Amino acid sequence: MNQAILLLLFPAAAALITPAGSALSERFGRGLALLSYIAGIVYGVVLYPQIAASPASVIVGNWKPPYGINLFVSPLSLGLVLLIYCVAIVILVSDFASNRKRRAQFYLLYSLLTMASVGLVLTADLFNMFVFLEIAGISTFALVAVGREGSGPAGSLRYLVLAQLTTLLMLAGIGLVYSATGVLNIASLSRFAALNPAVAFLAGLLILLPFFLEMKQFPFNGWIGGAYRGASPAIGATMSGLVTVSVAMVLARLLLTMMNTGSAFGDATTKIRTVVLVLGAATVLIGETAAFREKEIKRVLGYSSAGQMGMIAIGIAIASQSAVRGILFLLVSHTIAKVLLFLVAGTSARLSGSDRWDEMRGIARRFPLLGMLFAVGAMTLMGIPLFSGFWGKLDLIRAAIASGGLAVVGVVAVLIATVVEGVYFMKIAHAFFEAPAAAKSAPPESTKQHYGVAFLAPALVLAAATVILGVLPGLIDPWLSSATAELLHPASGYAAHIVTGGLQ
């Protein structure tokens, strides 16, 4: 089972070989990156049946946990790894359609980011998580900076400062935990004797901080505006679609599996979950409100991501069966929809020459498919039936009302956010479909433009995925059940497989 580490090695190898190969051919970087992700998907699909039967723990470097680092390959993590690879391929293919010349370093950084995301999902060790998080942060910073003159670097710098601040604090938290317990393995910590509650609360929050930032939670989301304005649409899609998968799953892993009442964090768990719930509710309201009047379409999508991540945080904090199922479904549907929306936004921006949606009026009259794809993505995020977002939201609201107490605040926030995001998404959708006034007609040169298959193929695949999941949500039901069980019941699943050995 050591071969499972190939899941990490494919993108890592792509990253390392790219500079050398690019000396030979300009197209080497993109070809190798795609090839490595496809290899990752093929390997993952071949591995999946075996993992579904019994999850496996991959011990790296022959040091058994809790002293060594191990990866945990389960239906949940393998499924999300496959999702990450698919999203990476989709985004890279669509990036070919943009007119930018990408240098080798772009593909190097991209593969590093993918590797880091995959690593975050697979790893079962806190410090390893920190390392992957740093790699992801630095790659994101560099990729965002590749954007437009001025606004790219400016936005990414703010992101870097905040990210480094929070990861530094995470390191402090990890140090606290290590000095108090002597182990860094998540499974061990989930069964360790309880720490001093004050230490547990402090260390727990510190460890979660960078994940709050990555998930755009409230006091830490000041970077969204700058970063999304400066980033190219492909990178925007990566931040919102690829990184969020890994980060949300890590938040769930930490809050549900590592911190539960039988763990080292003991009673501080409820306090930490309350903090996450409150922050999540605030994020939902603030994210959607900020998106309401925003005119630059990438920033709208960024703030909308903040709102959706807030909902996922609320669901994780509620920590019941329905809630976790709901957020996993929401995560999958959000990823699909957000990437689709970024693809459409990027193409619309290119075809209309402007980043603002109020200057893209009538674009769907010339390119009806663009408008319809946007409507599909928007309605998925709004949680409208026939599209996949509906089921996730339904489960989340049901879980929140059932759990009562403070979760009702979360429900109110989510319902208000639904109204608000419905209004602004429909405003944008309508602007796309608006019949242009007779006076201002489309500029003649843009009638020559069109979008190619590099945009169309991935977009149609994503749209089909969200509709299929919306109409037949039972398709991923087995995956959801096993993933929920693994997150919520560490003693029988997760911890059992890691601490008692697992395969060599």
Binding-site ranges for other proteins (CB under 8 A): 158, 161-162, 165-166, 169, 197-198, 201-203, 205-206, 209, 213, 219-226, 271, 286, 289-294, 299, 303, 365, 368, 379, 384-386, 390-391, 394, 397-398, 401-402, 411, 415-416, 418-420, 422-423, 426-427, 430, 433-435, 437, 471-475, 477
Distance from C-alpha of 126 to C-alpha of 128, rounded to nearest angstrom: 5
Using CA atoms, how far residue 109 sits from 102, 137, 144, 301, 411, in Å, is 11, 11, 11, 23, 39
| Omega before residue 66 within 30° of 0, cis | yes
Distance from C-alpha of 213 to C-alpha of 283, rounded to nearest angstrom: 11
Place of tokens 């049946």: 49
Q: How far is the CB of 486 from other proteins (least distance, A)?
A: 19
Distance from C-alpha of 417 to C-alpha of 406, rounded to nearest angstrom: 17
Residue 249 in contact with residue 129, Cβ under 8 Å?
A: no
Distance from C-alpha of 292 to C-alpha of 123, rounded to nearest angstrom: 38
Residues 6+ apart with CB under 8 A from 372: 364
Burial of 25 (0-12, 13-18, 19+ CB in 10 A): exposed
DSSP, collapsed to helix, strand or coil, labels residue 348 as helix
27 versus 450: smaller Cβ distance to other proteins: 450
Q: How far is the CB of 238 from other proteins (least distance, A)?
A: 21
Residue 120 in contact with residue 132, Cβ under 8 Å?
A: yes
Amino acid in position 463: A
Q: How far is the CB of 29 from other proteins (least distance, A)?
A: 33
Beta bridge partners of residue 72, listed in sequence order: 57
CA torsion 35→39→41→44, rounded to 10°?
A: -160
